[in-house]
C-alpha cells in the first residue's frame, strides 16, 4: 500500500460476546442465549470500518504471539487493511474484551489490554514515516496515553489531520486539545473531559482549551458538531437496533474515511481547515454507516461496505428520528 491513506494506531482485541435477555445484577447469575468470539478492539474496528467505507487503511498496534493475535491480523487482512505495522509480542497475551449484549441490543464491556498496553512513545516515533504519508491519523484511548500523545505530536509536526476518539474516557493533557483536529466523545466522555454535565457547557470548556472541532455522539439523539464557527445537530436515523457494540467505532472509522476523501487533492496544502459546511456530508455519511451497524450482531461483522452506505436512503426512506 503506497500513497496517502488513513493510519489507525490503536487496540486489537478478541471480543468474547455473550448474549442474554438482560445483564446480571451484582451477585446474580443469568443464563445466556449465545456466545461468540469476534475480532474487535476500538482501533481494529475503526480500521475495518474505514476500509469498508472506501479508504486505504494501515493498522498499527500490538498483539500477542498466540491464536487470538493471529486471528485478529488475518481478519484485518481480509478487508484489506495493511497490517505490516502490527507487532507480535512473545509472552504477552492478546487483548480481549468481555461483552454482554442484552435483548435490546445494549452492551456492557470489560477490556483486558494485554499486548495493547505495550505501545510506547517510541512505538509512535517508529511509525513517523507511516503517519507522515497519511492524510488522516485516527486514534483512541485503549492504548497507553503517552503513546497516543506522541502520535498526536507527530501528526501535528507532519501536517496530518488527527482525529481522536477519547474512549475509554481519560483526563487528557492540555496539548491534546490544541494538537488534534477533531475530538469525538460521547456524552459520558464529554462530561468527564469537561467537568460539565450540560453538553453545550462542556463543549464550551473544550473549545476554550483550543480545540478546533468537537463532534459529540449522542446515541439515539444523533450527533452534535461544534466549532468556533458554529454548531450543527444531526438527528439519528430510525432503525431496528440489534447490537450497538460497534456503533461508535463504525461512526469514527467512516468519519475518518470521509475526511480522507475531503482532503484528497489538498494533501500539499497543510493550511486547509474544513469548514462546518464541508463537514456536514462527511458526518451524515458516518451516521448512516453507524445506523446500519446497529441492525447487525457483533463488532466487525456489523460494519457496512461503502455500497451499502450508498444505498441507505433507498433502504430506509423514512429514517430520521
Catalytic residues: 249
Cβ pair 121, 149 in contact under 8 A: yes
Positive or negative torsion for Cα 270, 145, 244, 48: positive
- CA 73-77-79 angle, to 5 degrees, is 130
Cβ pair 183, 177 in contact under 8 A: yes
d(CA 262, CA 188): 29
What is the signed CA dihedral for 141, 54, 72, 88, rounded to 10 degrees? -70
> Given strand 182-183, what is the order of strands in its sheet?
82-89, 57-64, 6-9, 136-139, 161-164, 182-183, 214-217, 223-227, 230-234
d(CA 147, CA 187): 25
Residue 144: DSSP 8-state: -
For residue 100, give the H/E element and its range.
strand 95-101
Amino acid at each position: 500500500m503506497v500513497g496517502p491513506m488513513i493510519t489507525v494506531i490503536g487496540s486489537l482485541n478478541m471480543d468474547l460476546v455473550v448474549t442474554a435477555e438482560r445483564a446480571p445484577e451484582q451477585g446474580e447469575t443469568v443464563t445466556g442465549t449465545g456466545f461468540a468470539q469476534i475480532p474487535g478492539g476500538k482501533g481494529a474496528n475503526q480500521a475495518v470500518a474505514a476500509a469498508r467505507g472506501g479508504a486505504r487503511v494501515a493498522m498499527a498496534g500490538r498483539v500477542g504471539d498466540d491464536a487470538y493475535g493471529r486471528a485478529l491480523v488475518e481478519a484485518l487482512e481480509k478487508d484489506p487493511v495493511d497490517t505490516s505495522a502490527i507487532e507480535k509480542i512473545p509472552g504477552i497475551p492478546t487483548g480481549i474484551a468481555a461483552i454482554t449484549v442484552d435483548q435490546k441490543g445494549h452492551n456492557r464491556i470489560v477490556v483486558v489490554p494485554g499486548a495493547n498496553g505495550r505501545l510506547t512513545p517510541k512505538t509512535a516515533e517508529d511509525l513517523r514515516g507511516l503517519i507522515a504519508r497519511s492524510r488522516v491519523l485516527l486514534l483512541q484511548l485503549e492504548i497507553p496515553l503517552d503513546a497516543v500523545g506522541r502520535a498526536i505530536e507527530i501528526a501535528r509536526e507532519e501536517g496530518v489531520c488527527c482525529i481522536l476518539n477519547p474512549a475509554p474516557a481519560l483526563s487528557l493533557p492540555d496539548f491534546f486539545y490544541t494538537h488534534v483536529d477533531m475530538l469525538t466523545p460521547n456524552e459520558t466522555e464529554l462530561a468527564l473531559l469537561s467537568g460539565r454535565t450540560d453538553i453545550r457547557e462542556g463543549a464550551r470548556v473544550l473549545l476554550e482549551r483550543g480545540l478546533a472541532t468537537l463532534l459529540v455522539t449522542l446515541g439515539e439523539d444523533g450527533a452534535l458538531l461544534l466549532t468556533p464557527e458554529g454548531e450543527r445537530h444531526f438527528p439519528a436515523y430510525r432503525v431496528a437496533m440489534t447490537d450497538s457494540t460497534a456503533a461508535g467505532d463504525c461512526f469514527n472509522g467512516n468519519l475518518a474515511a470521509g475526511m480522507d476523501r475531503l482532503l484528497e487533492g489538498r494533501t500539499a496544502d497543510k493550511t486547509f481547515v474544513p469548514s462546518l459546511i464541508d463537514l456536514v456530508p462527511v458526518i451524515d455519511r458516518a451516521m448512516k454507516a453507524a445506523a446500519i451497524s446497529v441492525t447487525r450482531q457483533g463488532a466487525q461483522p456489523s460494519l457496512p461496505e461503502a455500497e451499502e452506505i450508498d444505498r441507505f436512503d433507498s433502504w430506509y426512506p423514512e429514517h430520521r428520528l
